[in-house]
């Protein structure tokens, strides 16, 4: 009789501890899964963050314009490049009269950074052009860069306008009556892949200012 009672006690003990063991394993698995899921979510959210590349254009008095590219985000960009074009638009003729491409990768007039970390910035001095009263100067910048984590590519085009010595952003110049004519003429202008002659552009503008 005592032997039977002992077996029953052992059976109850194993049953209770088996339930406890299962509960412990479930608890451990839950902690592990939560940690793994958190790590995956963190990595995925980090991959979804885009590099926040911003540009600035400064037009100092009696000095050449300055263009600045800055990484104001929380993730790095790689292989960032930025070249620029310059167009002069005659308001009377309503057409682009001079255009040129200033710089290529690894040559003057272009920005190139293999690694562009958060808070990094790079600036370059642009060719200085004094616009005559009937001439609008347009600076076009083409940016290309990649997100470091997955090499996702980003590209965009930005414009700045100098109208009679006054600097205008793209959104500001959209309100000008000549905006559509200017952008159409720019889109139809073909520029050879070579350094442009800044002297010829200055000479043209000087001639224009004599007859304004």
**For 35-56, what is each residue's pLDDT tens digit?**
555 454 445 445 568 899 999 9
Q: How far is it, in rounded angstroms, from Cα 165 to Cα 84?
A: 19
Task: Give bridge partners of residue 156 from the DSSP assignment.
Answer: 143
Q: How far is it, in rounded angstroms, from Cα 138 to Cα 190?
A: 15
* Pairing between β-strand 53-58 and β-strand 121-125 as defined by DSSP bridges: unpaired
pLDDT score for 17: 61
pLDDT score for 187: 92
Mean pLDDT, rounded, for 198-212: 48
Give the mean pLDDT of the chain: 77
Q: pLDDT tens digits for 123-167? A: 988 877 766 778 899 999 999 999 988 889 999 999 999 998 889
pLDDT score for 20: 62
Q: How far is it, in rounded angstroms, from Cα 62 to Cα 177?
A: 29
First to last CA, the chain: 123
- How many helices and strands, by DSSP H and E, does the chain display? 4, 9
DSSP string covering 31-70: HHHHHHHHHHHHHHHHHHPPP-EEEEEE--TTS--EEEEE
pLDDT score for 194: 46
Higher pLDDT, residue 14 or 138: 138
Confidence (pTM): 0.68
Q: How far is it, in rounded angstroms, from Cα 196 to Cα 194?
A: 6
In the block, tokens 């400064």 appear at 58
């Amino acid at each position: 009789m005592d032997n039977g009672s002992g077996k029953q006690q052992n059976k109850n003990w194993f049953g209770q501890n088996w339930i406890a063991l299962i509960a412990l394993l479930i608890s451990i698995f839950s902690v592990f899964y939560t940690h793994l899921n958190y790590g995956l979510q963190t990595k995925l959210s980090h991959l979804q963050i885009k590099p926040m590349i911003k540009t600035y254009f400064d037009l100092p008095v009696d000095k050449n314009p300055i263009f600045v590219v800055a990484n104001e985000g929380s993730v790095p960009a790689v292989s960032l490049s930025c070249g620029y074009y310059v167009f002069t638009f005659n308001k009377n003729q309503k057409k682009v009269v001079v255009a040129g491409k200033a710089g290529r990768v690894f040559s003057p007039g272009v920005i190139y950074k293999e690694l562009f970390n958060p808070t990094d910035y790079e600036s370059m001095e642009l060719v200085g052009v004094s616009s005559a009263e009937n001439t609008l100067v347009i600076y076009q910048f083409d940016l290309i860069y990649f997100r470091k984590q997955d090499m996702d590519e980003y590209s965009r085009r930005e414009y700045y306008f100098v109208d009679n010595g006054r600097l205008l952003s793209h959104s500001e110049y959209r309100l000008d009556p000549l905006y559509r004519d200017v952008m159409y003429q720019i889109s139809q202008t073909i520029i050879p892949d070579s350094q442009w002659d800044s002297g010829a552009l200055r000479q043209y503008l000087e001639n224009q200012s004599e007859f304004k």
